[in-house]
A and B are shown apart, each in its own frame.
Chain A
Amino acid sequence: MIGATTTGEHLVCLETFEAFYRREFRKLVAFVLALSGSRAAAEDLAQEALMVAHAQWERVSVMDRPDAWVRRVASNMAVSMYRRRMAELKAVTRLAGHRQDSIAPMEPDDEAFWKAVRSLPKNQATAIALHYLEDRPVSDIAEVLDCSPSTAKVHLHRGRKALAERLEVRS
């Protein structure tokens, strides 16, 4: 169900959270998986990011780019929180018992590529994931990174350069 309201001269379409959730969930899982590297946690992290959006949906829904916003949240969670709480997560997972990964493993080459991406600084890794995984333009990357397009371009450029060196391929 789509609602509409007017703000000044601009027509703003308000997407319901349910529609947003259904549209973004799988893509967000893939994005988080690329940045976190954990098949066990990717789904949960994506869900958590969407929960944050859900809790603030009245505010988030009127943003120009709710999808970029939720990726920014997910990116922060995937990179920062995941690394910080890795040990805690492992302990919780063990105690919770025998939870199986719901996401199928990737080919070793693909796994190695994303592992190299995760070794990059956070902004570079996020820019790379958005560029290759979601085919996002620089303007979108800037939105997610909350920076100017020129800065986003620098992150992407440096990320690609570093990635090529680590994977020993031509940039």
Chain B
Amino acid sequence: MDLDTRARDAADGLRRSVAESNLTLTEPPSVRTRTWNPAWAMAAGAITAFVLVFGIWSLRPTVVADDLETTTTTIEVTTTTALPTTTTAPLQETSVAPAPVPAAPVVFITIASPVDGQVFTESHITFSGTTEPGARVFGGPYEATVDETGNWSILLILSEGSNTATFTAVDTAGNEVSASVTAVYQPVKEPPKEPVKDPLKEPVKDPAPFAAYAMFTETNGDPAYGEYYGTGQPGSLVMAVSAWGSSETVVNADGNWNLKATFKNAPIGTQFEVKVKDDFGRYVYFPMSRTS
């Protein structure tokens, strides 16, 4: 025989055993049970005192409650009068139930907020929920505030993206239970600022025509120099380059430019070339001679 067959047989046997049993409690407990509380104890004491005078009662709890505030139990009441006859108390006031086993404390925890998968644009989020009154609640190393009714809350800071927070409730007996929730932090990001367009720095597809002129091609200054002017793409750079010195300027908004280039140490009586060029690779050569 294999395990499954053996197990199915055993399960059938157990189910049959229960099905054939005369289980005593067929009504929901809300009908057949009462919640024990200290006030009842006082009432029972008063009844006991009363019957000690007028009759003989016996109260036999089927189990002793460990916790009078929370344990639900029933009591069996039998009355014996002082007369030779014995009567039973009215059924609606009595209940016979099997002896309940003292219940182990069952701690619980719920997370009311946030709901699982909730998306936040703020990073500081208060998590809250309920637990057993008296229990402590921890979110990782942090302890939540728990009020006397079991409502708990804790402020946590989310990291960007998905955050799964696990909260553990620990009751006074040391029983633990955990629950998790995922919260998503998606900060609102500032849209990238549109760069301020500088028309002078914008790439130019069709630059304005480039033209360059020399004021003169001979110089006798000390140091020697040359002056150039012309037109070009507004904002573009114009340079005068030579073996003896260079200079540059920017074409103004009207498309005009002029510059003065100094040719330090240029030898007297020697002609050399000055290349005047712009950003777009356009250029003009000019001769230059130092005469004295």
Contact = CB atoms under 8 A, between A and B. Distances in A.
Interface of A: 17-18, 21-22, 25-26, 29-30, 33-34, 39, 41, 43-45, 47-48, 50-52, 54-56, 59, 73, 76-77, 80-82, 84-85, 88-89, 92-93, 96, 99, 102-107, 109-110, 113-114, 128, 132-133, 146, 160, 163-164, 167, 169-171
B1 interface: yes
Interface string B18-29: 111111110011
B104 interface: yes
A112 to B, nearest CB: 8
Contacts of A105: 17
Contact of B10 (A18, A104, A132): A132
B42 interface: no
A110 B14 contact: yes
B85 interface: no
Interface string B23-37: 111001110010000
B18 A30 contact: yes
Contact of B100 (A47, A104, A109): A47
15 contacts: A22-B28, A47-B25, A47-B29, A47-B97, A48-B103, A59-B108, A59-B130, A73-B106, A96-B63, A96-B99, A109-B6, A133-B15, A167-B6, A170-B3, A171-B2
A96 B74 CA distance: 14
B128 interface: no
Given A26-B18, A51-B100, A52-B103, A107 B13 contact: yes
Contacts of B101: 41, 44-45, 48, 77, 81-82, 85, 89
A26 B100 contact: no
A37 B272 CA distance: 114
Given A169-B2, A169-B3, A110 B13 contact: yes
Interface string B79-103: 0000000000000000001111111
Contacts of A45: 101
B8 interface: yes
B67 interface: no
B121 interface: no
B3 A44 contact: no
A59 B179 CA distance: 15
Interface in B99-156: 99-104, 106, 108, 110, 130
A44 B9 CA distance: 25
A122 B29 CA distance: 28
**Residue from B2, B20, B106 whose CB has the most chain A CB atoms within 10 Å:** B106
A114 B99 contact: no
B108 A56 contact: yes
A170 B2 contact: yes
A89 B99 CA distance: 10
A104 B3 CA distance: 24
Given A21-B28, A169-B1, 5 more contacts: A77-B103, A77-B104, A81-B101, A110-B10, A114-B10
A114 B103 contact: no
A113 B24 contact: no
A26 B15 CA distance: 9
A29 B98 contact: no
A33 B14 contact: yes
Contact of A18 (B30, B62, B70): B30
B106 A76 contact: yes
Contacts of B104: 76-77, 80-81, 84
Contact of A114 (B14, B23, B98): B14
Contact of B3 (A43, A55, A163): A163
B106 A113 contact: no
Contacts of A106: 10, 13-14, 17
Contacts of B64: 92
B259 to A, nearest CB: 73
B250 to A, nearest CB: 64
B11 A133 contact: yes
Contact of B21 (A82, A85, A88, A104): A104
